[in-house]
Structure 1
Amino acid sequence: MDLGTKKMAFVALGDFLFQFSSPNFQKNEKISLNELFYKDFEELIYDSVNYNGWFTADQIIVAIDSWTKALTKENLDLWTSKYDFSFEPMKKIGLILAGNIPLVGFHDFLSVLISGNTVKVKLSSNDSKLLPFLAKYLIAIQPEFADRIEFVKERLEGFEAVIATGSNNTARYFEYYFSNYPNVIRKNRNSVAVLNGSESKKDLVALGKDIFTYYGLGCRNVSKLFVPKDYNFDNFFQAMFEYKEVIEYEKYSNNYDYNKAVFLMSEYKILDNGFMTIKEDKAYSSPISSVFYEYYDDLQQLEQQLKADYEKIQCIVSCGIITGSIAFGKSQFPQLWDYADNVDTLTFLLSL
């Protein structure tokens, strides 16, 4: 299958997803195969919360919106333009996917197929419905994909290379089990924000998206703030009130109550606004409903610290004061070329 054919299929998938990229679904009669797929996908979006309590319709729509923005002809052309697709490796690639946020493994799935390999997917039980549905649509659009996509319920076998995503604990198992295969093993990472006190309310409200989207469960969620000495958190908390409705969701509320109680019983000093806590802590990974913060004295020294800790950090958001940072509110909308853990997946797959 040539590259153009594969890209056209994913563009068609992006057009299909666009109908579901905002809370008020807009059915477009011109979209291919809507008569077969539209209603079933609409129902799946609303039913997913029954399979994973964190997968509310609103959160799935955010994920769909992100992929709608990514799966355009322009983006696919730009992404693939620097690689050599003159041949298809046609290797069997095993994917072990996480299930922390909706469609979290879609980029790996896309990369394997675009690169001209075949994919054997081991899904997380927490996200076992969405990707198979999109694969079914993709095959209906381009039947040649049928022999290139397989979902595995039991043990993953018969692969020639593997991409596995999990926790730091499972990564140790992956590294041992897959040591004899070409592999990409992903571990825990978190994202951070660097503030200097000059941020506008608009900036800080946008930062709230980086914190609260997916209830903070993703590796691109900001879980740690770096702030200058004597930083006043009043403006930060005022901006966060834009997201106060998050406490109305029971699973989030339970985590907020529990983690706040743990902090108080441990006599930690925290700041609390009724639906989130912030705590001074050098760690990068904070519990759901909480964000850690750390003071800095010098931005250049902080930048060196962040570079030294790059294996712990997925992305950095700021108003441009840190080299390579992204804008507030954009952490959950990566480009196709924004690779997880900064590992170029396409180079890995095309070199097999």
Structure 2
Amino acid sequence: MDLNQRITAFSNLGEFLKDYLSDAPKSDLALQDFKTLTEEFTAVIETSHRQNAWFTPEYIKMALQSWSQMLTKETLTHWFAAYAASNTTSKRVAVIMAGNLPLVGFHDFLSVLLSGHHLIAKLSSDDKLLMPFLAKVLIKLEPSFESKIEFTQEKLPQFDAVIATGSNNTARYFEYYFKDKPSIIRKNRNAVAILTGNETAEQLEALGSDIFNYFGMGCRSVSKIYVPQGYDFDAFFNAMYAHQNVINHHKYANNYDYNKAVYLMSLFPVLDNNFMVLKEDKNFSSPISVVFYEYYKSIDSLKETLSSQADQIQCVVAQNFDPNEVAFGQAQKPKLYDYADGVDTVAFLLKL
């Protein structure tokens, strides 16, 4: 199976996702058991939600929609055109997947298999159904993948290299445990947003998506905003009301009530709009329902501050702040080459 065949299979998987999300086959894919697969997929999504209340059908389908748009032959071909990928020697690559967002490990799944390697995916207990189902569809589209994909929730079998995603604490364990293997070890990171006070209502509402989508649980979720001295939060809070329905999710509401109570009892000054809490804090990783904020004196001093802490930041949401910035509303829509922690996964895989 050469690279072109692998790209074709994944682009067909993208067509399957488009067909599924449109409730009827729109492509020329013509899978004979499409109806059975879609019924099974719906059941998988419902079961995933029952097992993990954070995985709402809305957010699962948001993740599927994002991948359906990226899994095209043109996009995948363009992505891999930057690499010399034709003569890869197949290795067994273990991927320890996180479970904070639906299909958060799919980029590694895609990268390993497109690179021509054998995937050993250790699934998170929080997201153990969606990936195996998509693998099942991929194998129906290209049976050669059957011998290339292995899932486990137990101890990893023999492997040649590893990609592991976890917290800062688990990363230290990973670094020790996998010290003799080629590895990518990802730690905890967060997204930040830079506000100047000149943002439009539309930009601030889009920023709300960066904050609230997936309940703010992703490494690209904006957990902290930087604002100029004297910033008036009225426009910010007004824009956030477009996302107020988040409080109707019971687990989010419980987190909001708990964190607000802790801050108030601790006499921390906070800003509150009945579904989110703003707290002045120098840290990056805020609890669910809380966004940290920090004042800055000048753009230049802020650039120096963020540069010195770059290893804690996944991406920066802003306008005209930095060449690598992400536009408002786009934090949860990374491109294929927007690698987690800035480490080129494909380059790593092709050097094995």
TM range (shorter): over 0.9
- Does the alignment pair 1:313 with 2:291? no
Query: 1:85 is aligned with what amino acid?
Result: A
Q: Is the 8 A contact 1:11 1:71 kept in 2?
A: yes
Q: Do the aligned partners of residues 178 and 32 (structure 1) sit closer, same or farther apart at CA in structure 2, a change above 3 Å counting?
A: farther
Cα deviation, residue 257, structure 1: 0.1
Cα deviation, residue 300, structure 1: 1.5
Q: Is the 8 A contact 1:314 1:340 kept in 2?
A: yes
Report the 3-state secondary structure (helix = DSSP H, G, I; strand = E; otherwise coil) of the residue aligned with 1:302. helix
Structure 1 gaps of 5+ residues are: none
Report the 3-state secondary structure (helix = DSSP H, G, I; strand = E; otherwise coil) of the residue aligned with 1:127. coil
Of 21, 27, 31 in structure 1, the residue corresponding to residue 24 of structure 2 is 27
Q: Is the 8 A contact 2:124 2:153 kept in 1?
A: no
Q: Is the 8 A contact 2:225 2:291 kept in 1?
A: yes
Query: 1:208 is aligned with what amino acid?
Result: G
Cross-structure match for 2:199 = 199
Distance 2:177 2:47 in 1: 35
- What does the per-residue CA deviation read over 1:249-279, in whole Å, with 9 as the maximum and x for residues that have no partner? 1010000000000110111100000000101
- What does the per-residue CA deviation read over 1:60-106, in whole Å, with 9 as the maximum and x for residues that have no partner? 01111111121112211111011012212200000100000000000
Distance 1:154 1:324 in 2: 39
- Does the alignment pair 1:234 with 2:231? no
Cross-structure match for 2:179 = 179
- Does the alignment pair 1:154 with 2:151? no
- Does the alignment pair 1:102 with 2:102? yes
* Structure 1 residues 89-168: aligned runs within 5 Å: 89-168=89-168
Distance 2:40 2:249 in 1: 26
Q: Is the 8 A contact 2:20 2:38 kept in 1?
A: no
Q: Is the 8 A contact 1:66 1:332 kept in 2?
A: no
Cα deviation, residue 3, structure 1: 0.8
- What does the per-residue CA deviation read over 1:191-210, in whole Å, with 9 as the maximum and x for residues that have no partner? 00001010000000000010
* Structure 1 residues 1-352: aligned runs within 5 Å: 1-21=1-21, 25-28=22-25, 30-33=28-31, 34-352=34-352
Query: 1:236 is aligned with what amino acid?
Result: F
Cα deviation, residue 20, structure 1: 4.4
Quote the RMSD (CA, aligned, Å).
Answer: 1.1
Query: 2:281 is aligned with what amino acid?
Result: D
- What does the per-residue CA deviation read over 1:330-352, in whole Å, with 9 as the maximum and x for residues that have no partner? 11111001000000000000000
Report the 3-state secondary structure (helix = DSSP H, G, I; strand = E; otherwise coil) of the residue aligned with 1:158. coil
Range that drifts further, 233-242 or 64-73: 64-73
Structure 2 gaps of 5+ residues are: none
Cα deviation, residue 10, structure 1: 0.5
Report the 3-state secondary structure (helix = DSSP H, G, I; strand = E; otherwise coil) of the residue aligned with 1:19. helix
Q: Is the 8 A contact 1:276 1:289 kept in 2?
A: yes
Distance 1:329 1:18 in 2: 22
Taking structure 2 as the reference length, the TM-score comes to 0.97
Distance 2:176 2:112 in 1: 23
- What does the per-residue CA deviation read over 1:199-223, in whole Å, with 9 as the maximum and x for residues that have no partner? 0000000000100000011000000
Query: 2:101 is aligned with what amino acid?
Result: I
Cα deviation, residue 47, structure 1: 2.5
Query: 2:45 is aligned with what amino acid?
Result: I
Distance 1:17 1:297 in 2: 47
Q: Is the 8 A contact 2:226 2:293 kept in 1?
A: yes
Distance 1:222 1:19 in 2: 31
Q: Is the 8 A contact 1:90 1:118 kept in 2?
A: yes
Query: 2:58 is aligned with what amino acid?
Result: D
Cα deviation, residue 36, structure 1: 3.6
Cα deviation, residue 17, structure 1: 1.1
Query: 2:77 is aligned with what amino acid?
Result: D
Distance 2:131 2:320 in 1: 35
Q: Is the 8 A contact 2:279 2:290 kept in 1?
A: yes
- State, as a whole percentage, how many aligned pairs show the same letter: 52
Taking structure 1 as the reference length, the TM-score comes to 0.97
